[in-house]
């Protein structure tokens, strides 16, 4: 049976650059993670595709999935549900492939409780002014939503201490390199540079 894959969880406040950094990371030739597409009740933004950016579903459908135990984790974030479908993550990890989740902090803490050997990375902005600047610059949310997201960010940033790693996203290529170092180091831990005692002792 294939060795179970590694689960890496990237969180951080809205607008810090999770999506941007994740896309840049996935373009690296030596990075080979499967991205778990989340499910949400949020309406698609212009250009977003169902099944690619998210699985866009109704509130009723989402609640049915929760009831049926089909979510690895889920959270309500600024009036909408967001969550990770369990089946894809389990099957992919079981097949030996590594999986990448990009989710907010409450969901990440649920994953922490259920998958203790997952690796938790918090992406942090240089400061709150820069975070607001990025949210405004992205131009996808109205000012009232941006303000709600910024308010939420303060609490989210205080959750950073519950993560294995904090990564500063001052510049995208630097943040990508930092995450790659974490992955390399975690792989070493998993590969465990340990002797194979059974073969050392020989057949008895
Ligand atoms: N718990 C959880 N959070 C998610 C999931 N997918 C996305 N999110 C988070 O929900 C928040 C809002 O997402 P979205 O509306 O797409 O805004 P954006 O990430 O700021 O572009 C972000 O912090 C996402 O990381 C998920 O499957 N589970
Ligand atoms: N290191 C960075 N420096 C400047 N702008 C950035 C950086 N990373 C991301 N951005 C910009 O910030 C905005 C929010 O990024 P996005 O990836 O959508 O964040 P998130 O997925 O965390 O909500 C986007 O306009 C993006 O281009």
Ligand 1 mean position to 104 CA, how many Å? 6
Mean pLDDT taken over the chain = 93
Tens-place pLDDT, residues 15-29:
999 999 999 999 999
More confident residue, 116 or 110: 110
Choose one of 8, 19, 40 to mutate for the ligand 1 pocket test, by most ligand atoms within 8 angstroms of C-beta. 40
Please tell me the predicted confidence (pLDDT) of residue 193: 59
- What is the rounded CA–CA span in Å between residue 57 and residue 77? 15
Task: Decide if pLDDT at 42 tops 90.
Answer: yes
HSE, CB side, 13 Å, CA atoms: give it for residue 202: 1
Return the ligand 1 atom nearest residue 84 CA: 27
Reported confidence tier of residue 140, pLDDT bands at 50, 70, 90: confident
Tens-place pLDDT, residues 150-203:
999 999 999 999 999 999 999 999 999 999 999 999 988 866 556 666 677 775
Helix axes 128-138, 143-157, angle to 10 degrees: 140
What whole-number percentage of the chain has pLDDT above 90? 84
Nearest CA to 172 among 19, 8, 69, 57?
Answer: 19
- Going by alpha carbons, the residue nearest to atom 15 of ligand 1 is 42
Tens-place pLDDT, residues 55-81:
999 999 999 999 999 999 999 998 899
Does residue 17 line the site of ligand 2, with CB under 6 A?
Answer: yes
Helix axes 18-26, 172-191, angle to 10 degrees: 60
Reported confidence tier of residue 1, pLDDT bands at 50, 70, 90: low
Return the ligand 2 atom nearest residue 172 CA: 1
> Whole-model pTM?
0.91
Find out whether 115 and 71 touch, Cβ atoms under 8 Å: no
Find out whether 77 and 104 touch, Cβ atoms under 8 Å: yes
Does residue 84 line the site of ligand 1, with CB under 6 A?
Answer: yes
Tens-place pLDDT, residues 85-99:
999 999 999 999 999
Find out whether 33 and 10 touch, Cβ atoms under 8 Å: no
3-class DSSP state of 24: helix
Written as six digits, the tokens of 166 are 């904090």
Ligand 1 mean position to 81 CA, how many Å? 9
Instruction: Tell me the three-class secondary structure of 98-145, residue by residue.
Output: EEEEECCHHHHHHHHHHCCCCEEEEEECCCHHHHHHHHHHHCCCCHHH
> Domain 7-193, what fold?
Rossmann fold (3.40.50)
Q: Would you list which residues are annotated within the binding site for ATP?
A: 12-19
- What is the rounded CA–CA span in Å between residue 53 and residue 58? 16
Ligand 2 mean position to 134 CA, how many Å? 6
Ligand 1 mean position to 29 CA, how many Å? 26
């Amino acid at each position: 049976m294939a060795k179970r894959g590694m689960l890496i969880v990237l969180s951080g406040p809205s607008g810090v650059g999770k999506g941007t950094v994740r896309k840049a990371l996935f373009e690296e030739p030596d990075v080979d993670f499967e991205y778990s597409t989340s499910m949400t009740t949020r309406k698609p933004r212009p250009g977003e595709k169902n099944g690619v950016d998210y699985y866009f579903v109704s509130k009723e459908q989402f609640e049915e999935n929760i009831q049926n135990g089909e979510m690895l984790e889920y959270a309500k974030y600024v009036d909408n549900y967001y969550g990770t479908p369990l089946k894809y993550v389990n099957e992919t990890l079981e097949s030996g492939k590594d999986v990448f989740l990009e989710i907010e902090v409450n969901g990440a803490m649920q994953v922490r409780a259920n998958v203790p050997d997952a690796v938790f990375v918090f992406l942090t902005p240089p400061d709150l002014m820069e975070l607001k600047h990025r949210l405004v610059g992205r131009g996808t949310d109205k000012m009232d939503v941006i303000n709600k997201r910024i308010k939420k960010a303060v609490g989210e940033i205080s959750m950073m201490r519950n993560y294995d790693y904090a990564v500063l996203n001052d510049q995208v290529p630097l943040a990508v390199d930092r995450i790659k170092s974490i992955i390399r180091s975690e792989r070493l831990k998993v590969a465990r540079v340990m002797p194979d005692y059974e073969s050392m002792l020989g057949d008895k």
